Amino acid sequence: MLGVCGMHPDHQEALKKNRVVLAKQLLLSELLEHLLEKDIITLEMREHIQAKVGSFSQNVELLNLLPKRGPQAFDAFCVALRETKQDHLEELLLETLSGLQHAHPPVWSPRHVLSCDYNLSLPFPVRESCPPHKQPRLSADVGERSLDNGDGPPCLQVKPCTPEFYQTHYQLAYRLQSRPRGLALVLSNVHFTGKKDLEFRSGGDVDHSTLVALFKLLGYQVHVLLDQTAQEMQEKLQDFAQLPTHRVTDSCIVALLSHGVEGGVYGVDGKLLQLQEVFQLFDNANCPSLQNKPKMFFIQACRGDETDRGVDQQDGKNHARSPECEESDAGKEELLKMRLPTRSDMICGYACLRGTAAMRNTKRGSWYIEALTQVFSERACDMHVADMLVRVNALIKEREGYAPGTEFHRCKEMSEYCSTLCRRLYLFPGQPPA
């Protein structure tokens, strides 16, 4: 257990001098487990940190706690940074500490030899999956053109729906009145093992923290699963689909954030979970509690290895055609019992097109989740989900990677969605009044 004396003043000063960088860049999911294992924090402290909305607020809470956690806290924190592949932050702290101690005899630190292949403190685009023979070596000047020139996830706010909009739209839309609106599951895999040599998903923590905050603000009860094997993913998704709460709520959300290929996402053990198996768990046959209720899926994962290089736009007008709608009348036969197709009332957003790679910013998270959060927070008040996903497509279409000297320079991405929704799906944040 912790000793009675506090953290060494030099250690406190090193944390203080690097506080802003740490607050922006720390990836907490696995790091907190290391600190818990070493008795630097308690279970209650971990829950208190995770209850904060957004990764920045969670990081600040940990930085407030660390100086009070005894003389071993700094060294344990540095070791935890190294073990979670955040070596650049450990080196930053140790370099600062060395400068503070230049007039004193050197003290033991958890790492005596510092090395780093590239500067991870800069935001660069990476792919969600990258075969070992294609992995680029990124230099310190690699960056990425951002949509908002920001340096991290913003403080999230969702615009409320007006009573007037709700009254004029709810009768033609899916019923969304329950409190909570429904259950949401965010499953995020960041640290990988196994034979596939899948990379650490730097920036993945930003994605899952942002989605958790967004779904809570939209009125959902959020469940989070981190770093699951393929079998654990399948089992826990099945458990989630069978929760009795679905019977008394009006909708459901599932977000899967991982490496992937066309038709599947990877567990942390390098084994695949087929997406069709996921959809099957929530269909009308296997999940009767969600029959006739909208089910939203968001897949942040690669669907292939090809980086979209993009093409130069030629002069000329853009042409868009609206898909035609065809209605089939089955006749007025005797109605015994209403029958449903096996799968309906689903909409699924994909970060990228079939065969292509999804892009992720190492500090701000994936392009797709950032765009999704921006659109949903601003337009859920007056736009239905399918139209919002069209807006997401438009933002992704405009985005471009900036990484001179790598295959990611001027790279592109294109998101898409597919839908079996049968009505308009408005999320009506804040309506009807409780």
Rounded Cα gap, residues 123 and 397, in angstroms: 20
Q: Which residues make beta-bridge pairs with 418?
A: 348
Tokens of 360: 């992720």
Peptide bond into 105 cis (omega under 30): no
Q: Which of 161, 287, 302, 348 is catalytic?
A: 302
319 is catalytic: no
Q: How many CB atoms lie within 10 A of CB 232?
A: 16
Q: What SS3 class is residue 53?
A: coil
H, E, C per residue of 182-249: EEEEEEECCCCCCCCCCCCCCCHHHHHHHHHHHHHHCCCEEEEEECCCHHHHHHHHHHHHCCHHHHHC
Q: Which one from 259, 287, 348, 381 is the annotated catalytic residue?
A: 259
| Residue 112 known to be catalytic | no
Beta bridge partners of 412: 308
* Burial class for 169, CB neighbours closer than 10 Å (0-12, 13-18, 19+): middle
Dist. CA 309–CA 307, nearest whole Å = 6
As a whole number of angstroms, the distance between CA 7 and CA 10 comes to 8
Q: Could you give the residue numbers annotated as active site?
A: 259, 302
